[in-house]
Amino acid sequence: MGLKVLPPTLRKNNRYLTVDIKSESGITKDDLVTIVWDACVRFQGELNSGNFNLWVMKFYECDNNGEFYSYKAIIRCQRDYVDEVRSSLALANRFNGSRISITTIGLSGTIKSSDKFI
């Protein structure tokens, strides 16, 4: 049996970042999880990254225009750490030797409302 759901006052407040990803080589959702964690731990350190409550909620493959692969994803983080996560993701520039670019194109309070940025 799972844990009982916390009362609203004890729950963490989340924000959902919609990110635009460009990559020279194809990536999977698992790769994105690695990239996100690596970027946060590198820029903010292990201690601060523990507060972020990071989770890759959704991962979408977009059109490949021939020059690079394009993806979009929804990443969860804790409400008070949005700027920290944004800046860490913006500083990710390489994965497995190929160039990658992640930038946040939308911020919302629910997954449903973040779908409008996809």
When the beta carbons of 78 and 101 are compared against another protein, the nearer one is: 101
Greatest Cα-to-Cα distance within the chain, rounded to the nearest angstrom: 49
Residue with tokens 């490949």, as numbered in its chain: 64
Considering the complex, what minimum distance in angstroms separates the CB of residue 82 from another protein?
Answer: 8
Q: What is the DSSP string of 3-46?
A: PPPPPGGGSPPEEEEEEEEEESS---HHHHHHHHHHHHHHHHHH
- The answer to whether 90 contacts another protein (rule: CB under 8 A) is yes
Helix (H) or strand (E) holding 106: strand 98-108
**Chosen residue from 25, 99, 109, 113 binding another protein by CB under 8 A:** 99
Rule CB under 8 A: which of 16-55 touch another protein? Answer: 22, 42-43
When the beta carbons of 18 and 56 are compared against another protein, the nearer one is: 18
When the beta carbons of 33 and 107 are compared against another protein, the nearer one is: 107
x/- map, 50-89, another protein, by CB under 8 A: ------------------x-------------xxx-xx-x
**Chosen residue from 41, 104, 115, 117 binding another protein by CB under 8 A:** 104
Nearest alpha carbon to residue 114 among 104, 102, 103 = 104
* Terminal Cα distance for the chain, rounded: 36
